[in-house]
Amino acid sequence: MLAYVLRRLLLMVPTFIGILLITFFVMRLRSTTFSEEAQATAGKGGEGVASSGDRKAGGASKRYQNLIDRFRRTGNDLPAVLNTHGFLASDDVLADLRAAAPDSPLKPSARSEREKELWLAGRFAVLPLAEVLRDDALAPLHGPASQALALCAHRTLDPPDFKRLPASEVNRLQARNQVLAQSVIGFRVESATPAVLAKDGSAAQAAIPAHYVTTDSALRAAAKRQALLAIADDPANQDEYGHSSGRAWRALLIDTGFMDFLRRLCTGDLYSETQQRGVFALIGERWVVTFWLNLLSILIAWSGSIALGIRSARRAGSLEDRATTGSLFFLWSLPSFFVGALFLHYLCTDRDAANKALFPASGLSSPNSLWMSTPLYLADLAWHAFLPLVVLSYGSFTSLSRYLRGNLLDQFNADYARTARAKGCSEDRVVYRHVLRNSSLTMITLGSGLLADLFGGALIVEIIFSIPGLGLLLFEGAKQMDIPLVMGSTVISVGLLLISILVADLLYAAVDPRIRSRYG
Amino acid sequence: MVETAIIGRKARSPSQLAQERFLRRPWVRPSLWLLATLALLGIYAPALVGDAALVWKDATGWHFPVLGELFNAWAFSKQHDVLFNLLALALPFLALGWVFLSRWSRVRRLVIFGALVIAGWVALCWLPIGTTVDGDAQTFWRRKAQSEHTIAHWRELDAQQQAPFAIFPLIPHDFDATFAGQAFKTVGSLNPDTGSRFWLGTDSAGRDVLSLILYGIRISLTVGLVATGLSMLIGLIIGGISGYFGGWVDLVLQRVVEVMMCFPTFILIVIVVAMLDRNIFVIMTVIGLTGWAGTARLVRGEFLAQSVRDYVAAAEALGLPRWRIMFRHILPNTLTPLIISATFGVAGAVGSESGLSFIGLGDPTAPSWGVLMEQGRQNIRYGWLIWSPGLAVFAFIIVLNVIGSGLREALDPRQADG
């Protein structure tokens, strides 16, 4: 038996890793909307160009902070799969900068793409960018280069970092981030390409991200450049920015976003941006709801369909059997969201002041449930959970009971059933003690196959009835592009699903004497 | 017994027998009729819904503005409408030809029709689009202005006692026309702009629900066919390779299939669609890309069973290339379960798309049934926004399920339960 459990567990490992990989790749599908962001800030930040002095610097720093926030959410800390940034040289960086410059022949959208690529290169781009910044001959590119350098060198501190790192290190990093935020060199648009501006001012305005369209004096520009170079050259930072060939290869093969994601997953280090909390703390509050919803609904579906299946099989061909078949087929084709919406419309909405709704429209407990006694609280819970459970479980009835009916009909004529009848067993005993035990094997397999659908269905039901479960969390995260949250809740949902499938398998083994005997 | 059966009735091929069994199943015939009606309603939606007159006769002669409408870019919201419009024009020719040339062999008919239909499409497309000179052809097909030959135009002329003879579609306005001040009008209320009625009420933007549902048939048909076609294709390739080659290829591919089987597909679709932009074509592609696991498993089993047959050994001995053995020799023998699973697949894809739209991840610019239901969910008091699209989805799904289970029982009596 233990061998069987181990075998099932080991088979589950590649499946789980595969699911993690798919989730990860799906998250990577999202194109980072840096260009959109840049355009949005360009639209908003018109005053940055017009105004002067310190207000400008403050505005620039705020925009920088916006970008950094955006960056973090879209995965600055999750470099691309097969990360080749370790091989970046100053030539590559220079090519990107030239392509992104306002006078390059590329289209504005392609230009901001190149720039975005550079920003996403992360810490490996810091030293090559410093090379560019050091070269006086490349003065027109210092603005964009400083912008890229400041973004790449930035180390965003998550709440877990404060716990892990010593206070001195945290202070140093925070101070460094502050210097980076203030050291973006503004460059004059006029001096860059006056011709482009004169021809079609608006297009060029949109093409040049507004973050560095400021007017630094030569003195201030030099000071900012010195500050950036000092950070890049600081021996204390070499661990982070410097690269050797070994490190580059490690980045290519091991240090990808996937590994980073796995590490964060294993250490519980995922942090939700939109909810401002750790992902696992959020999931910890929510998963119980989904778990109970699914468990109850599978129990309802199972017991209900066993009863229905046995009844139909024993009265096979009768009017009742045909009516059951027909209505189950009808139910099977009825989309659950349609039923849910109808329930909401007819049972959960107040008609008028006199006709109150029969059932609550959302949540799992009344607002005053905290002051209720336990039986009252349970009754309240049942009142809230009744409709969601109905919507969730009615769809599973059909396949389970149809299958059981067919299977029972086959088994009724099997040799062992005839033997049981011949030795004088009552028909009830034949059905419940002999035939049903054989059929329950296939029922378990079929039930575990339905689990995946059930989890998808739970998502819809949680959304319809606003039940604070895992599905709703995942849905909200997905709508707001909160990637750590979506990843965390997907992994946990799938984990729950895999565990349930495992349990079904173990049940199967417990019921089936053949497996028991084979694995001892 | 056997002999009398042969003597007593004309001998029939297995496919004819299966066809008979299929049509004898209860509810199969009504379902087929309903499906055909739905498809025809969807294909001929421009003749039922639209602001261009079907026929308009005034002093300058006869006009058929609706024909030009079929290929005007502003007359439809989605590119796949062009395909449906082409189908609308080609269908009568196809049907006529099929009846008249029934003596010819099937292949010959197909080839000839293919050529004829393409020629007809080119001609029909060329006339309304290609004629740019302001000649007779153009006024025959086309309206000079968008407001010309509409019901509003006719009412204006009618007020001046100069109304021409005109026939309008049953719903004489564009399917996505928004009527100001007509939001959430109840079922059967009067539309003051056109004098017609909103037979199924209006939605939150003052659009007519019935016309949206009619155009929604097109969306659902496209989603179902494209998504299922895609998942069938992927499942066929992966399952075929897995079953035919076996060994470690099979082992690896089976793990991949298992991953897809274990993944709650709907959750995956929700995440992918949330990450990408909400376009109906993206949605159907995603549904297709995530739904192939069952097909792959099915095809693998069939290929596994077929690849040990003698005819495969013979083909291998002849030195035929592997893809030819797989797709020309084995594939036709595995089509039966594929067809059955495709029928259920279409129903599932339509359900997925509607569910996705229902929770607010649909394409807001497409006249999809789920998007209408989402409006009903947001404005829960207006029951017609739930009932009518919901019943449409339900009808579509149940019809396909009936046909699918009828096919399963007719083609593969062993698998039929009960």
Tell me: the pLDDT tens digits for B58-74?
A: 887 787 777 777 766 55
The minimum CA-CA distance between B200 and chain A, rounded to whole Å, is 17
Which run of H or of E encompasses A247? helix A245-253
**Per-residue model confidence (pLDDT) at position A42:** 47
Q: Distance (Å, rounded) from C-alpha B306 to C-alpha B312? A: 8
Q: What is the pLDDT of residue B311?
A: 92
Indicate the pLDDT class of residue A196, thresholds 50, 70 and 90: very low
pLDDT exceeds 70 at position A15: yes
Q: Which residues of A263-273 are buried (b: 16+ CB within 10 A; e: fewer)?
A: ebbeeebbbbb
Decide the pairing of beta strands B189-190 and B61-63: unpaired
How many Cα neighbours within 13 Å face the side chain of A337? 30
Q: From chain A, pick out residues whose CB is under 8 angstroms from the CB of B381.
A: 345, 349
> Which chain A positions have a beta carbon within 8 Å of B264's beta carbon?
452-453, 455-456, 459, 493-494, 497
- What's the Cα-to-Cα distance from A315 to each of A414, A430, B195, B396, B415, rounded to whole Å? 18, 15, 57, 31, 21
Q: According to the per-residue pLDDT averaged within each range, which of A122-126, A479-483, B23-27 is highest?
A: B23-27
Asked which of A3-7, A76-80, A267-271, B313-317 is least confident by mean pLDDT, the reply is A76-80
Distance separating alpha carbons of residues B241 and B365, to the nearest angstrom: 39
Strand partners, B190: B197
- Nearest CA-CA partner of B44 in B74, B77, B79, B69: B69
Query: Chain A, 360-399: which have a CB under 8 Å from a chain B CB?
Result: 361
- Distance from the Cα of A518 to chain B's closest Cα (Å) equals 23
Q: How far is A412 from chain B (nearest CA, A)?
A: 13
**Confidence band of A502 (pLDDT split at 50, 70, 90):** confident
Closest residue in A to B273 (Cα–Cα):
A478
Q: Per the CB < 8 Å rule, is B376 touching A338?
A: no
Q: Which CATH superfamily is domain B210-415 in?
A: MetI-like (1.10.3720.10)
Interface list for A 142-201 with B (CB within 8 A): none
Query: Distance between CA atoms of B269 and B267, rounded to whole angstroms?
Result: 5
Measured between CB atoms, does A446 come within 8 Å of chain B?
A: no
Q: How far apart are CA A497 and CA A494, in angstroms?
A: 5
Q: Across residues A288-317, what is the average pLDDT?
A: 89
Nearest residue of chain A to residue B358 (CA atoms): A337
For an interface test with B, the pick among A337, A350, A482, A502 (most B C-beta atoms closer than 10 Å) comes out as A337
Residue A350 has pLDDT above 50, yes or no: yes
| Mean pLDDT along residues A64-89 | 63
CB-based contacts of A235: which residues, under 8 Å, 6+ apart?
none
pLDDT tens digits, one per residue of B101-119: 777 777 777 777 778 777 7
- A403 → chain B, closest CA residue: B417
* pLDDT band (50, 70, 90) for residue B134: very low
pLDDT number for residue B77: 58
Q: For residue B48, give both structure tokens.
A: 């039922």
What is the rounded CA–CA span in Å between residue B112 and residue B105? 11
Chain A CB contacts of B275 under 8 Å are: 26-27, 29-30, 478, 481
pLDDT score for A81: 60
Considering only CA atoms, which of A334, A340, A356, A346 is closest in space to residue B382? A346
Instruction: Check A19 against B259: CB less than 8 A apart.
Output: yes
Q: Do A22 and B262 touch (CB under 8 A)?
A: no
Chain A environment of B274 (Cβ under 8 Å): 478-479, 481, 486
d(CA B202, CA B184) in angstroms, rounded, equals: 5
**Alpha carbon distances (Å) from A434 to A420, A428, A445, A515:** 8, 10, 19, 18
β-partners of residue B166 are: B56
CB pair distance less than 8 Å for A30 and B276 = yes
Nearest CA in chain B to A457: B266
pLDDT at A47 over 60: no
Q: In angstroms, rounded to a whole number, what is the distance separating the alpha carbons of residues B145 and B164?
A: 17
The whole-number average pLDDT for the span A328-351 is 90
Residue of A nearest to B381 (CA): A345
Q: Torsions phi, psi of B306, nearest 5?
A: -80, -30
Nearest to B68 by CA among B116, B113, B132, B119: B132
Scan for tokens 């029939």, then name that residue: B12
Closest CA to A489 of A280, A289, A290: A280
Q: Which residues contact A511 (CB under 8 A, 6 or more apart)?
A: A437, A440, A441, A444
Instruction: Give A158→chain B minimum CA distance, Å.
Output: 24
**B-contacting residues in A 397-436 (Cβ below 8 Å):** 402-403, 405-406, 409
Cα distance between residue B190 and residue B196, in whole Å: 6
Query: B112 vs B245, which has greater pLDDT?
Result: B245
Question: DSSP character for A136?
Answer: G
Report CB contact under 8 Å: B418, A344: no
Q: Looking at chain B, which residue has its C-alpha nearest residue A330? A: B398
Q: Does A337 touch chain B (CB under 8 A)?
A: yes
CB A16 within 8 A of CB A502: no
CA atoms within 13 A on the CB side of B236: 23
